[in-house]
Homo-oligomer: A and B are copies of this chain.
Amino acid sequence: MHDFCAQDESNCLPNEQNSKGGETHAERIRKALETEIASGRIEPGKRLDEQEIALQFGVSRTPVREAFRMLAASSFVDLRGRQGAMVRSIAGHTLVEMFQVMAELEGLCARLAARRIKPEQMARIDAIHKRLEAACDPQGVDAFYDINQEFHEAVYEASCNAFLAAQTRGLRNQVAAYRRRVTRMPTRLDATLSEHSAVIEAIRAHDAERAHSAMRNHVNLLGDDLLDFLAAYG
C-alpha cells in the first residue's frame, strides 16, 4: 500500500544518534514512520501491524517494535496494552490545548529572534518570505506548505535556543497531519502572508514583545481555522 522509501533527517527530538554511517534499522523505521504519520499519508487512527511493516521494510518484527516504542514515547502512536499500535488521533479539545502551547512556544521563538537575529538570518527570512509570496497559489498548496515550514524553521534557528527549537519542531510535527488539511483553505494563504509580514517587521525592528504577540496571533489564528475546518468536515 505505502512504500516507505522516503527518508529525511527531520530529527525532532535532540536525539542526535550517531552521525556515522551505521544507522540501525529501528531508527530508520522510526524516521520513515514518523514522516509518513506527520505527512498524513498514514491516517490518524490507523492500526499499525508489526508483521506487515516488518515485511515492507524487509526486517523482522524486533526493530519494528522498537520503532513503535520510540514513536509512542513521542506521542505519534498510541500503544494500548496488548492491542497493538495505532496512529494517534487527536481530539479537537486536545488540538486546542496543543495550539495554545504551540502559540506560546512559537511566540517565544519570535521574541528571542527579535533580540538575537543576525543579519544573514534576517536576509534568509526575507528571501523565504518572497518565495512564499510567489507560491501563494491555491494550486500549489504543497509547495506553500513546505516554504511556510521553512519560514518557521528559520525563526526557530534565529531564536538561538536549540532546545526550544527542538521542542517547538516536535510539537509542530505532532499536529502536522492536521495542519496540512487547513492549508487548503483559500483564505489561509493570504492570511498567512500578512501574519508573517507582521512577525518579520517586528523582528526586523528588534521589537521582542511585538514579535511575540504577532507570532502568537499567527499560530492562534491557524488553530482557529483548523477548528473551523474540523467542525465543518470532521
Chain A residues with CB under 8 Å of chain B are 13-18, 20, 22, 24, 26, 62, 65-67, 69-75, 78-83, 94, 97-98, 100-101, 104-105, 108, 161-164, 167, 171
Q: Name the distance in Å between A12's Cβ and chain B's nearest Cβ.
A: 10
* Complexed CA–CA distance, A164 and B81 (Å): 25
* Complexed CA–CA distance, A24 and B66 (Å): 14
CB neighbours (8 Å) of A100 from chain B are 108, 161, 163-164
* Complexed CA–CA distance, A79 and B69 (Å): 14
CB neighbours (8 Å) of A80 from chain B are 17-18
A-side interface mostly: helix
CB neighbours (8 Å) of A66 from chain B are 65-66, 69
User: What are 25 inter-chain pairs, A to B, with CB distance below 8 A?
Assistant: A14-B75, A15-B79, A16-B78, A17-B80, A18-B80, A18-B81, A18-B83, A22-B81, A26-B69, A66-B66, A69-B69, A69-B70, A69-B73, A70-B70, A71-B73, A72-B73, A73-B74, A94-B162, A100-B108, A101-B108, A101-B161, A101-B163, A101-B167, A104-B105, A104-B108
CB neighbours (8 Å) of A65 from chain B are 66
Q: B22 touching A161 by the CB < 8 A rule?
A: no
CB neighbours (8 Å) of A101 from chain B are 105, 108, 161, 163-164, 167
Given A98-B163, A105-B104, A81:B17 Cβ within 8 A: yes
Q: B104 touching A20 by the CB < 8 A rule?
A: no
Q: A164 touching B70 by the CB < 8 A rule?
A: no
* Complexed CA–CA distance, A98 and B163 (Å): 6
Q: B164 touching A75 by the CB < 8 A rule?
A: no
